[in-house]
Chains A and B, each alone.
Chain A
């Protein structure tokens, strides 16, 4: 009998219109690593809560069907026995700890098992070693970086010696380098503990897919629609995956496009290694163009820069370290600029200076050539929109339509004009059917669209976005980026703070890397990724297609390499890559 045996599991939350999971059945062996895919709201987290027996005990929900672990129906086990089988790592690094120091946090889960103290000490040391935090044993939890926190969460789970690990989007809040590192530790753990069954929910698969034995796909309705080896699932179910907005590994997405274009590829590669093998025969002969294709750079009005910081320094408190150190940056009008760098490097702090939320000294920050300290809040917000990472933070009204009208009402525009502008925004952002809904009741993708729309209501020409694609599936992220591209083509200047390397590779016209409060790089995305030393210090990850190009030694005349599917397609099909907006695969 399989180690995990789930039979006809149906879960329904109180007052929910439909079940979160419907008739889900599957089995998993010891030591298997399963990847759980599905659009948001498809019940991925719910499945983890069921395995750990937290539904229906801790989370009220009606549950039908049975879950067997190690041959035992978990309904017949005590709460302690159930939770001992499954260790969970949750998505939010800020909301899964309850103690103040690393060792106390690991100890917490052991104290609950009433282990004797000597054994706790040994287990704490062991589990921290498994995630590389042994040196941080007495550190305060709030002093750890996001990546370290997630590794600590993993250690907390491991210390309890579960037979199953459920990792629920463990890297969603991490920067690219920290995500890669987390997966490295996970791979090491798999080698050291080959008996542990791992179930992982993830969206960005490039660095993860190599260690996955089996992929399971849940549909919008919470049904298990696909299950199989990764190659097989991605090979034959492209349409289903597209429809659900599942991110594919980029090399897989590229190979699909190539196959659709008639190139001979008998199986789809999942990793850069596999792609190197699969594409070896069909690579372009002859030299690449002298320069990478230029991205369309919007309508530049010329004139003063949209945003400018001159030798700006900043610290949050007199006794705190400097977050910005003598930083200078110019964002020209019509730019589509990506602002990248490690968490805590000062990207958001810098952006908040551009809207006077953090007040610079006179003569340091300029908006369209004018010193921002001489402008009123109304002047500034009429020019610049700022989209926060969490859209909910910005909502001030009770309906979608009032939300859009809000900034106009504050400015006392005539009601007829307000109605007209609101209708236009609703239509162009696909929000018309939801106009009477409460903004908090929208889906994640809709909330994001609404927050962007509200920032354009008074005709702002500059848009700053903090992690615009964070936590979104492929379809909503794609739609949003297309929207930004349209705005950009219409002359809006865009500055996006992001950890999304695909956004940088596919959309940004220029990139700026901020490290330790200073601009360490400003140039094209191609030049950014070609600078390997910088990529390391800025805690970035080169896009997989760039890695692949390097494997083949593909370089443009200027030494940079292709980053996007569009460029690769152009190279392999011999079509010109230049011009037009890049498309996402």
Chain B
């Protein structure tokens, strides 16, 4: 019953970073990669992300291989094939036709664009995995509240919701089992599924509403939000290392972009390759 992507508890340099600054650094890399339109720059960012994930954060491959493969397949099927068939060149640019039959043709430049898109997506996915699998959710929310002035009521709401996720899954399984015993077989037809969903939804919602009311009352009974200010037992610190990580990310992004430009591989960032 594990989700596709989870926090992977471990002790590493990346794990110990302040969540907010870690997020800022990783976001810097993500923004940098979105602006590169060639295949090589996103590839460099993708490899950098993998390096941080595997070597610096020591997250085992099995932890992130499934979501990654999912996006590889998605990219290959979606972006690459769509662009190969439907690529529209900039006006006045020649295209290289690899294969043609009737009105259908496969264009080399289209494949290139598709690969670039796929690699950009993979780089962003890898960086997201890097953040999610190395950040304790409680620390993340506390850090958002303490460092990023995130409203604490909302923050704690998110924490409670997160705590309850596995409970709902268990609850849904119990309801499914209970209904199966009633002789309510799960029918594969669309209508059957719809009716089934309705039948599961009522007890699940009834219980969800009841439980969330209870938690809300329990939190209120401990004076949650009674004072405009609250103190924190667990301080999420900001250390020089966190700022160094942020600076490092910005520098790495700049270095990659600059290096790619020097090699003449960069497109995007206002750089247009010569015809």
Contacts and interface: CB of A to CB of B under 8 A. Distances in A.
A112 B214 contact: no
B163 interface: yes
A104 interface: yes
B55 interface: no
The prevalent SS among residues of B at the interface is helix
A54 B226 contact: no
Contacts of B159: 98-100
A94 to B, nearest CB: 6
B189 interface: no
A139 to B, nearest CB: 14
Nearest to B195: A396
Given A98-B163, A111-B231, A392 B182 contact: no
Interface residues of B, number: 48
B214 A95 contact: yes
A124 B1 CA distance: 34
Contact of B227 (A113, A116, A121, A458): A113
Contacts of A124: 233
A104 B215 CA distance: 16
Contact of B183 (A357, A381, A388): A381
A95 B218 contact: yes
Contact of A111 (B177, B184, B233): B233
B138 A377 contact: no
B82 interface: no
B179 interface: yes
A160 to B, nearest CB: 7
B131 to A, nearest CB: 19
B181 interface: yes
B207 interface: yes
Interface in B169-223: 174-175, 177-185, 199, 202-203, 206-207, 210-211, 214-223
B36 to A, nearest CB: 39
A88 B223 CA distance: 11
Given A96-B218, A352-B177, A406-B182, A117 B138 contact: no
Contact of A97 (B163, B183, B231, B234): B163
Interface in A96-150: 96-100, 103-104, 107-117, 120-121, 124, 142
A411 B216 CA distance: 43
A156 B216 contact: no
Contacts of B224: 108, 112
B100 interface: no
Interface string A267-302: 000000000000000000000000000000000000
A410 interface: yes
B78 interface: no
B233 A95 contact: no
A83 interface: yes
Interface string B225-245: 111011111110000000000
Nearest to A58: B220
B217 A54 contact: yes
Given A98-B215, A104-B138, A407-B182, A395 B231 contact: no
A313 interface: no
A52 B226 CA distance: 13
A90 interface: yes
A297 B181 CA distance: 27
Contact of A392 (B1, B207, B221, B234): B207
Contacts of A52: 221
B189 to A, nearest CB: 15
Nearest to A397: B199
Contact of A454 (B177, B182, B216): B182
Nearest to B173: A357
Interface string B149-180: 00000001001100100110000001101111
Interface size class of A (residues with CB under 8 A): 35 or more
Contact of B220 (A83, A156, A390): A83
Given A90-B218, A114-B231, A98 B156 contact: yes
A68 interface: no
B211 A156 contact: no
B219 A98 contact: yes
B202 A395 contact: yes
A328 to B, nearest CB: 24
A57 interface: yes
A467 interface: no
Contacts of B230: 111-112, 114
Contacts of A54: 217, 220-221
Name the residue in A95, A109, A454 with the highest tally of chain B Cβ atoms < 10 Å from its Cβ: A95
Given A52-B221, A80-B227, A112-B227, A120 B233 contact: yes
A111 B234 CA distance: 10
Contact of A94 (B138, B175, B211, B216): B211
B216 A114 contact: no
B105 to A, nearest CB: 50
Contacts of A377: 180, 183, 185
Nearest to A355: B181
A124 B221 CA distance: 18
Nearest to B142: A104
A192 B38 CA distance: 73
B20 to A, nearest CB: 19
Name the residue in B177, B179, B226, B234 with the highest tally of chain A Cβ atoms < 10 Å from its Cβ: B226
A73 B216 CA distance: 25
Contacts of B185: 377, 410
Interface string A380-417: 01000110101011111000000000110011000000
A114 B227 contact: yes
B93 to A, nearest CB: 55
Interface in B15-50: none
A370 B178 CA distance: 23
A116 B183 contact: no
Given A111-B232, A112-B223, A394 B179 contact: yes
Given A396-B182, A440-B206, A113 B214 contact: no
A508 B211 CA distance: 33
B223 A80 contact: yes
A357 B175 CA distance: 11
Given A58-B216, A100-B137, A112-B224, 4 more contacts: A57-B220, A113-B227, A117-B231, A395-B202
26 contacts: A52-B221, A80-B226, A80-B227, A83-B221, A92-B214, A94-B211, A98-B156, A98-B163, A99-B163, A100-B137, A100-B159, A103-B233, A107-B233, A111-B231, A112-B225, A112-B227, A116-B231, A117-B232, A120-B233, A355-B181, A388-B178, A393-B174, A395-B202, A407-B183, A410-B184, A440-B202
Interface of A: 49, 52, 54, 57-59, 78-80, 83-84, 86-88, 90, 92, 94-100, 103-104, 107-117, 120-121, 124, 142, 156, 160, 317, 352, 355, 357, 377-378, 381, 385-386, 388, 390, 392-396, 406-407, 410-411, 440, 454-455, 458
